[in-house]
Amino acid sequence: MSLTLSEKAKHVKPSSTLVISARAKELKAEGRDIVGFGAGEPDFNTPENICDAAVQAIREGFTKYTPASGTKELKEAVSRKFKNFNKLDYAPDQIVISNGGKHSLTNVFSALLNPGDEVIIPAPYWLSYPEMVKLQGGVPVHIYGAKENGYRITPDQLQSAITKKTKAFVLCNPSNPTGVIYGREDLEKFAEVIVKNDIYCISDEMYENLLYTGEPYTSIASLGQEIYDRTITCSGLSKGYSMTGWRVGYTGSSKEIASLMGAVQSHSTSNVNSIAQKAALEALNGPQDSVEKMRQAFDERRKYIYKRICAMPYVDAAEPQGAFYLFCDCTEALKRSYKGQEVGTTGNLATILLNDFDVAVVPCPDFGYPNHIRLSYAISLEQIEKGMDRIEKFLNGLK
């Protein structure tokens, strides 16, 4: 046997959102005044009541193994949250608590996929979905949302992409990277296609707390028994509660899928760290006013960044309705030149912005839209203003 490595692992690309943020942090540490529109990470501290609960957990010695798929009290809290916020009935034994939303999704794909199973992922997509699917032996299949439709895909597109090999459809609502939201009527039509073709729906609701349209949130699984039976609802505390580093995600699904995921997790990471589980319990059971305050701050930032980008030459963007991303079409900018050379690609554009303008953005080839960049506005208004001034200067200087 020669010393070969896993073909599957070799084909996985590292997460460029994390690479870009790490680079921006490195440059900051070297003293550069970088504005980071990179990874989607709220700039707020985790609310104090949540931190206090964690400290208390440590002091009280809640520092041992818990059941692998989460404590009973946390599953009960998630179950109540599903009921009250999402209008979904998931009993505690239908819930699995995992190490962040990424881990929840990885568990879902490992519970559902056999080699060669196709998973339909609407583009633009969050860059981790296709890699997660491939790691579990599946085949990602993309359908592309039209710009005129706010990058939303249509139920007809979904229907046309379904083959005998289709196992599941991934719905990211609100969307990373566009911030668009699928409302109840859209979801009803998707549910019809999903049920008719008897495939699973993986509904990633990570940004469900960050909505700016005033419309109530609809979870696709709440639309009827048949879609409920086929959906795995995924969410977590990273974004809405500003808890990215704590690593708490969760799923609601059928009991059968939950027990498969629990078994997989019991042989990999085991439980989410016990202290973070106590913190998550306080997040869900405690006062929710800090979530609302953060949402309002994001909304203010959203309006500002959208207004600024709309006033700039050679770029345009869809108005985000949720999450904290602006998805920006740079096609015209790419045709222009900077310092005598055509900009050409969003990779080049991001490099110029970082090297010459101290601004980090995410080029979106890995999100399925090579001519676009993504700006995360989960940073302060002052930072956004400074960053937008710099981007404007760059664009105004293009020939």
At position 37, the amino acid (one-letter code) is: F
Peptide bond into 313 cis (omega under 30): no
Which residues lie across from 75 on neighbouring strands? Answer: none
Instruction: Output b/e per residue, 95-125; b: 16+ Cβ within 10 A.
Output: bbbbbbbbbbbbbbbbbbbeeebbbbbbbbb
100 binds, among ligand PMP, ligand GLU, none (CB under 5 to 8 A by kind): ligand PMP
Sheet holding 231-236, edge to edge: 95-98, 249-252, 231-236, 200-204, 166-172, 118-123, 139-144
- Site for ligand PMP contains 206 (CB under 6 A): yes
- Site for ligand PMP contains 126 (CB under 6 A): yes
Q: How far is the CB of 243 from ligand GLU (least distance, A)?
A: 13
Nearer to ligand PMP, 178 or 244 (CB): 244
Binding string, residues 5-44; x marks residues near ligand GLU by CB under 6 A: ----------x-xx--------------------xx----
Q: How many binding residues for ligand PMP (CB under 6 A)?
A: 13
| CA trace torsion 291, 297, 302, 308 (10° rounding) | -170
204 binds, among ligand GLU, ligand PMP, none (CB under 5 to 8 A by kind): ligand PMP
317 binds, among ligand PMP, ligand GLU, none (CB under 5 to 8 A by kind): none
Binding string, residues 156-195; x marks residues near ligand GLU by CB under 6 A: --------------------x-------------------
18 binds, among ligand GLU, ligand PMP, none (CB under 5 to 8 A by kind): ligand GLU
- Site for ligand PMP contains 101 (CB under 6 A): yes
- Site for ligand PMP contains 366 (CB under 6 A): no
- Site for ligand PMP contains 181 (CB under 6 A): no
Q: How far is the CB of 210 from ligand PMP (least distance, A)?
A: 11
- Site for ligand PMP contains 130 (CB under 6 A): no
196, 199, 185, 186: which is closest to 121 by C-alpha? Answer: 199
Angle 128-175-116 (CA atoms, 0-180°, nearest 5)?
40
- Site for ligand PMP contains 298 (CB under 6 A): no
- Site for ligand GLU contains 377 (CB under 6 A): no
Q: Which two tokens stand for residue 273?
A: 């760290």
Nearer to ligand GLU, 15 or 157 (CB): 15
337, 362, 336, 333: which is closest to 347 by C-alpha? Answer: 362
Residues 6+ apart with CB under 8 A from 5: none
Tell me how far apart the alpha carbons of residues 302 and 325 are, in angstroms, rounded to a whole number.
8
Q: Are 364 and 178 in contact (CB under 8 A)?
A: no
Near ligand PMP by CB under 6 A: residue from 36, 249, 320, 363: 249
15 binds, among ligand PMP, ligand GLU, none (CB under 5 to 8 A by kind): ligand GLU
Binders of ligand GLU among residues 96 to 155 (CB under 6 A) are 126, 128
Nearer to ligand PMP, 179 or 262 (CB): 179
DSSP state of 205: -
